[in-house]
Amino acid sequence: MKHLKMFALAAAAVGVFMAFAGTSSSSALVWCTENKNPCPKAKTVLIIIESRVKPGKISNTSGTTLDECMGGELETAEDKQGSGIPITAEIKALTWSGCTGTTDTIKTGSMEVTEISGTSNGTVTLKGTEVTGVFSGLSCTYGAGTGTDVGTLESSGEEGFMNMSGVFNKTSGSILCPADVQLQEKWKITNHKVVYVVSEGE
C-alpha cells in the first residue's frame, strides 16, 4: 500500500509538470517582413535570396587569406515555415565568382535560424554544407558538418543582411591543407527589403 501511494504521488507530480510544460511551450519562428512579434500572417516570407555585398574571404585560423571572392549568390527556400523552432531552410544554390582561386560548392546543405533573445535577429547555423578550393596549389575541401554557427541574420530597418563568420573543418584534401578555415562574408537579402526573425502569428 505504501509503495502504491508513493507511485500515485509520483504520477500526479509528472502530470502537473507535463501540464505546466504544455502551457509554457514556445511558438514557432518565422521570417517576417514587419517587425512585429508575433508576425501577421500576411507578412511571413517563404523564400529569400541573398547576394554577396562585399568580398568573401576564406582564411586560415591565423588570419592569412587563402581565397577572396568578389561575387556570388546564396539562394534559400524555406521548407518548414511555421512548423517548428528553429526556422529550417534548404540551401538551393551557393555560388562563388571573381575568386582568386578555384572555389566551388560540392554540397549545399541547409540553414537554420534561431531567435536571438530580446531581438528580432537570428543566429544562423549551416549543416552539411561543403566547399572545395585550390589554395596555394593545394586541393582542399571544408564542411560545416552536423552544425556550425556562422553568424547572424539582421535587419537595420533599411536593409536585411546576413553577416557570416564561421569555422569549417577539413573533410578531404592534401595533408598540407589547413585543418580548418574561416569563412567571412556579408550577404544582402534581395527579394525583400528587410526580414525579421519573430514568432508565428495566430
Q: Render pLDDT for 43-74 as a digit per residue (tens, 0 to 9).
A: 888 777 777 877 889 999 888 999 999 988 88
Q: The dihedral of CA 82, 85, 89, 95: what is its sign?
A: positive
- Classify residue 7: in a domain, yes or no: no
Position 192 confidence tier, pLDDT thresholds 50, 70, 90: confident
Task: Give me the residues paired with residue 200 across strands.
Answer: 39
pLDDT above 60: residue 103: yes
pLDDT above 80: residue 83: no
Give the pLDDT confidence score for residue 78 in this predicted structure.
62
Mean of all residue pLDDT scores within the chain: 81
- Classify residue 78: in a domain, yes or no: yes
Give the pLDDT confidence score for residue 124 in this predicted structure.
93
Provide the number of structural domains found in the chain: 1
Give the pLDDT confidence score for residue 80 in this predicted structure.
53
Q: Which three cell numbers stand for residue 157?
A: 530597418
Q: Once rounded to an integer, what is the mean pLDDT over residues 104-113?
A: 93
Q: Which residue has the cell 544562423?
A: 124
Give the pLDDT confidence score for residue 170 in this predicted structure.
96
Give the pLDDT confidence score for residue 174 in this predicted structure.
93
pLDDT above 90: residue 155: no
pLDDT above 80: residue 3: no
- In a 3-state reduction of DSSP, which class is residue 160? strand
Write the CB contacts of 62 (distance below 8 Å, at least 6 apart in sequence): none
Position 173 confidence tier, pLDDT thresholds 50, 70, 90: very high
Give the pLDDT confidence score for residue 2 in this predicted structure.
41
Cα–Cα separations (whole angstroms), residue 103 to 131, 133, 168, 193:
7, 4, 14, 29
- Classify residue 128: in a domain, yes or no: yes
Count of C-beta atoms within a 10 Å radius of residue 11: 10
Give the pLDDT confidence score for residue 5 in this predicted structure.
39
Give the pLDDT confidence score for residue 26 in this predicted structure.
55
Task: Give me the residues paired with residue 35 across strands.
Answer: none
- Classify residue 13: in a domain, yes or no: no
Select from 133, 97, 91, 137 the least CA-distant residue to 113: 91
Q: Once rounded to an integer, what is the mean pLDDT over residues 178-192?
A: 89
- Classify residue 2: in a domain, yes or no: no
Position 156 confidence tier, pLDDT thresholds 50, 70, 90: confident
- Classify residue 107: in a domain, yes or no: yes
Give the pLDDT confidence score for residue 20 in this predicted structure.
33
Q: Once rounded to an integer, what is the mean pLDDT over residues 69-92?
A: 76
Domain span at residue 57 reads 28-199
- Classify residue 132: in a domain, yes or no: yes
- Classify residue 59: in a domain, yes or no: yes
Q: Once rounded to an integer, what is the mean pLDDT over residues 116-127?
A: 92
Q: Which three cell numbers stand for residue 169?
A: 573543418
